[in-house]
Amino acid sequence: MRVLNRYLLFDYLVIFLTALGLITFVMTIGAMVKAVDLMARGISPMLIVRFFFQNVPYILSFSMPISILFAALLLFGRLSMDSEISAMKACGLSLWQVVAPLIVLSVLLSGICVYINNEVAPQAKYANKRLLSSAGVDEPINLLEEGRFIREFPGLLIYVGRKNGHEVKDVVAYELSDDGQVKRSLRAKRGEIEADDVNKILRVRLYDGSMETPDLDDPHDISKTTYTPFRYVQLPPLDFKELLKDDKIRVKHSYMTTSQLIDNIRNVKKDFPMLSEADQAVQRCKLMIEANRRISIAMACFTFMLIGIPLGVKSHRKETSIGMVMSLGIVFAYYIFIVIAKALADYPGLHPNLILWLPLVATQILGFVLIHRSG
């Protein structure tokens, strides 16, 4: 049995590591293009090398689960095609006994992926953001991040639902007094952003929206609030000089470690007291989606091993192309739920953070059933 375990582990690791190297390389093409752009701007080679390698942890969080699935499909497709699985069964071994070392390996790889997703990748992304800012190549318009309330501008809290170049949609803005009270709030269907690199300010123009102005003497009395529709409003200029300093860089959700995300989830009401309960719920939901996304992707290492083994046995194929096609199909179906969850982030009542776990649980159950039947 030990000889068989070593044989399977060795063959699996060879395929897995080869696939991991190739898939990671393909997924770094975007980072390579950015690195070439940085080189054209005259950034030092050492900074470019740092930028490139600091992209790798985030890429590994996706390439590891895909490689695990591909290796399982390819290895067990070959074993099945060569009748080695049948020979093992003839010797009295069940499929569970055969695959037990690989299941344990997938659990260990899931643990590594959890650490990468929750600690290493966010810190590496934040380090890259600081690197680009210190090199002076980060676009000022990126200061207005999609799907997050930005509170770093003095006297203003602003939210951008979607952004396409200089055009923004679903904008919410709160103009604040010195003591943090809301002077007026604006909601607009669309807007435009213009960066003034000379004066280091952003100009935000809003179109087709409504303005709410609370009563100065009794701001908490909603009946005294004035509601005014508008076709065009320009917000006060947003000074971003301080935000470009290295120690002032905003910590986006994707830059936070999971422990920081959890702290932010608990403190949404304290951090954003001026927001309505509905907006606080949306902000909390976005944080929960990010935290659950990281853990669910890490658990995909174990899940993909469970589903890859029986599918490989049933495929009776040892061709690399078949394994790659099946891997891409499963990965696409799996990751589409991440897209759905993010799309539903503005509807916290639907609990989109839990949607991320549906394919995980369903695939694990299916994997257990298929292995049991194959055994």
Report pLDDT for 297.
92
Contacts of 158 (CB under 8 A, 6+ apart): 144, 149, 150, 171, 172, 173, 174, 204, 235, 238
pLDDT at 292: 93
Query: How many separate domains does the chain show?
Result: 2
| Claim to verify: residue 366 and residue 325 sit in the same structural domain | yes
Do 25 and 106 have their domain in common? yes
CA pair distance 147, 258, nearest whole angstrom:
18
Non-local (6+) Cβ contacts of 10 within 8 A are: none
| pLDDT of res. 45 | 83
Rounded to whole angstroms, the Cα distance separating 160 from 352 reads 20
| Residue 280 resides in a domain | no
Verify that 133 and 159 share a domain, yes or no: no
pLDDT the model gives residue 244? 56
Same domain membership, residue 114 and residue 23: yes
H helices present in 148-276, as ranges: 258-266, 268-271
> Are 124 and 182 in a shared domain?
no
Q: Is residue 259 part of a domain?
A: no
What number of other Cβ atoms are within 10 A of residue 359's Cβ?
19
In a domain, 354, yes or no: yes
**Whether 28 and 124 share a structural domain:** yes
**Angle, nearest 10°, between helix axes 56-81 and 2-27?**
130
Instruction: Assess if residue 142 is contained within a domain.
Output: no
In a domain, 275, yes or no: no
DSSP-based three-state secondary structure for 40: helix
Among 112, 113, 107, 105, which Cα is nearest to 9's? 105
- Establish if 247 belongs to a structural domain: no
User: Helices in 267-315 by DSSP H: which ranges?
Assistant: 268-271, 277-315
Same domain, 18 and 59: yes
Query: Residue 120: its pLDDT value, please?
Result: 94
- pLDDT of 246: 47
Task: Say yes or no: 104 and 172 in one domain.
Answer: no
Query: What 3-state class would DSSP assign to 151?
Result: coil
Q: How far apart are CA 29 and CA 35, in angstroms?
A: 10
Task: Give the amino acid at 243.
Answer: L
Residues 7 and 131 in one domain: yes
The one-character DSSP state at 92 is: T
pLDDT the model gives residue 250:
55
For residues 177 and 226, state if they share a domain.
yes
Mean pLDDT by 10 residues, the chain (375 residues): 82 94 91 79 79 91 92 88 78 83 95 94 86 63 76 82 86 82 87 82 89 76 80 84 54 82 86 78 90 92 92 69 68 86 88 91 90 78
pLDDT at 25: 93
For residue 133, being part of any structural domain is answered with: yes
pTM, rounded to two decimals: 0.75
User: Phi and psi dihedrals of 238, rounded to 5?
Assistant: -100, 110
pLDDT at 140: 66
DSSP per-residue codes, 112-149: HHHHIIIIIHHHHHHHHHHHHHHHT-S-GGGGS-BTSE
Residues 234 and 316 in one domain: no
Say how far apart CA 103 and CA 333 lie, in whole Å.
22
Domain end among 239, 271, 305: 239
Residue written as tokens 């891997």?
A: 327
Indicate if 177 and 111 belong to the same structural domain: no
Range of the domain at 347: 2-137+287-374
At residue 207, the pLDDT reads 93
Distances (CA, A) of 373 to 1, 98, 191, 310: 22, 14, 57, 9
The residues with which 206 forms a beta bridge, in sequence order, are 191, 233
95-130 tens-digit pLDDT: 888 889 999 999 999 999 999 999 999 999 888 877
